Amino acid sequence: MLTEDVQPFVKEGDTVLSEHDRVWALVPDILAIASHEGCFLRVNPAFSDILGWTEKEATRNSLQTLVHPEQEETLVGQLENLGRGLPMQRFELRLLHKTGGYRWISWSATRKGDCFYLVGRDVTWEKEAAAARHSIQGALYQAQKMEALSQLAGRISHDINNLLTSIVFGLDLLNRRLASGRVQELDQLIEVALTSAQRATDRTQQLLAFARKQPLDIRPVDVNQLITQLLPELEQSLGTQNRLSVDTSEGIWLASSDRLHLENTLIQLMTNAREAMPEGGSVTLSTSNAHLDAAATEGCIGLEPGDYVQISLKDSGIGMPHAVLERVFDPFFTTKPASGDVGLGLSMIYGFVRQVRGHVRIDSELGRGTLVRLYFPRSDGNEGVH
């Protein structure tokens, strides 16, 4: 009688086990049970489908024996975290395929008792596609950069030629006056020559910065302190008819940047904001910490996922239409009438921020103002803070 009573439960248990085995065998992702040392105790057929190793061969190996040498230390840290009961979520490892080469596997795992239970998804195709896309984007960026540099060289050579003409004229006049004994007002001629020489030097520095060859003094920078100290210059650049609000968040990380170039960048952006508000308006300057994941950095050439210090500048100006927004980083592009302005402001900012491995994002809409966001990598240390 007792046997008849438990029979339904036995059948139900067999059904559950049968379903478990079916899932284990048919699921396309790797399912594995491993020891705390990372040795495989059991793997499903997908392990062989993806990595080529049979179950028997797999149990003679471990994560450590199959992982790419560059990721060995990282794997050890992940296994230690798992041993402490911390789950593993979408941790990507390159594992050796039986026929050679490596496959990218995205792992999720948890600890239960003395074992680790792992699920691995083959993301090799996605990785290769992303690498190919990055390569194409890099080639496109390089082509655009070369075209921009060609325009830059052509236009700036004319500007420098005019400056050199002014210098030569001033020095020639100075020489003739000295030869004739006329020493009055020589200081004015010298000042004109020096001013023109400095402008020519500035143009050269602009070329170098845009080409990413100008050396920078990259150190940890306290952006909140920088903004506080720079406030008088920022207000002067913005003009008296406009209002500046500053919102610096507490606990801001140190940014990896060049302090002098960052100061010039903020002053330039403040000048741009003033020009975008001919009838007056307001600007909000703020700081915050930002973590950019892979999704946030996708499509941003040279920008790696990680921690960044964000500086935002929002104005209430006239804004920009989409056609203008697409060209704001082009050298010499300007919406101003011809007036001698070479139009290097935003392209210079772009070149500088890229050089420190940061990012610039501009959002704008006609009639609704402009938001500029600067992202600078979080500094690892605090020695030599600017």
The CATH number of residue 60's host domain is 3.30.450.20
pLDDT in tens, 255-299: 999 988 898 889 889 988 998 898 889 999 999 999 988 877 776
Q: CA 325, 323, 331, 191: dihedral to nearest 10 degrees?
A: -80
- The answer to whether residues 52 and 8 belong to one domain is yes
The DSSP secondary-structure symbol of 39 reads B
Q: Write down the pLDDT at residue 19.
A: 67
What distance in Å separates the CA atoms of residue 297 and residue 359, rounded to the nearest whole number?
Answer: 9
Domain-ending residue, one of 214, 237, 265: 214
Sign of the dihedral through C-alpha 81, 86, 87, 90 = negative
Distance of CA 365 to the CA centre of its chain: 24
How far apart are the C-alpha atoms of 223 and 308, rounded to whole Å?
A: 12
The enclosing domain of 322 has a CATH number of: 3.30.565.10
Tally of domains within the chain = 3
Please spell the DSSP secondary structure of 267-280, one letter per residue: HHHHHHHHHT-TT-
201-236 b/e with 16+ CB inside 10 Å = b?
Answer: eebeebbebbeeebeeebbbbbbbebbeebeeebbe
255 and 209 fall within a common domain: no
- Residue 236: predicted pLDDT: 85
pLDDT in tens, the chain (386 residues): 434 443 443 344 444 446 677 778 788 899 999 888 889 999 999 999 999 999 899 889 888 899 999 888 888 888 888 888 888 888 888 999 999 899 999 998 888 888 899 999 999 888 888 777 777 766 665 665 566 566 656 666 666 777 778 788 878 888 888 888 777 777 777 877 787 777 777 666 656 655 555 567 889 999 999 999 989 889 988 888 899 999 999 999 999 999 888 988 898 899 889 988 988 899 999 999 999 888 777 767 667 888 999 999 999 988 887 777 777 776 555 555 444 444 456 777 888 888 888 999 989 888 889 999 999 999 986 665 65
The last residue of a domain, from among 180, 214, 248: 214
Q: Look at residue 89 and give its three-state secondary structure.
A: strand
Q: Quick one: 33 exposed, middle or buried, by C-beta within 10 A (0-12, 13-18, 19+)? A: middle
Same domain, 358 and 226: yes
Residue 221 shares a structural domain with residue 336? yes
pLDDT confidence of residue 216: 76
* Residue 318 φ then ψ, to 5°: -75, -15
180 exposure class (CB count in 10 Å sphere: 0-12, 13-18, 19+): exposed
Collapsing DSSP states into helix, strand and coil, what is residue 374?
A: strand
Residue 382: its pLDDT value, please?
Answer: 64
Domain end, chosen from 92, 122, 152, is at: 122
Beta-ladder partners of 292: 306
Q: Do 146 and 46 sit in the same domain of this protein? A: no
Q: Is 315 left (phi over 0), alpha (psi -120 to 50) or beta?
A: beta
- Predicted pLDDT at 154: 64
Output the CA torsion sign for 347, 351, 352, 353: positive
> Do residues 279 and 184 share a domain?
no
DSSP 2-38: HHHHHHHHHHHHHHHHHHHHHHHHH-SSEEEEEETT-
Q: 115 and 137: one domain?
A: no
pLDDT at residue 384, as a whole number: 56
pLDDT of residue 13: 41
- Same-domain pairing of 185 and 239: no
Cα 90 to Cα 234, 305, 331: the distances in Å are 45, 15, 41
Query: In this predicted structure, what is the pLDDT of residue 6?
Result: 39
In the block, tokens 């941003």 appear at 300
Q: What is the pTM of this model?
A: 0.49
Residues 90 and 239 in one domain: no
pLDDT, residue 21, reads: 74
**Tokens, residue 243:** 């209002």
What are the Cα distances from residue 194, in Å, to 168, 188, 197? Answer: 11, 10, 5
In which domain, by residue range, is 221 found? 217-386
354 and 252, same structural domain? Answer: yes
Please report, for residues 182, 271, 342, the alpha-carbon distance to residue 361 in angstroms, rounded to integers and kept in the order given: 56, 18, 22
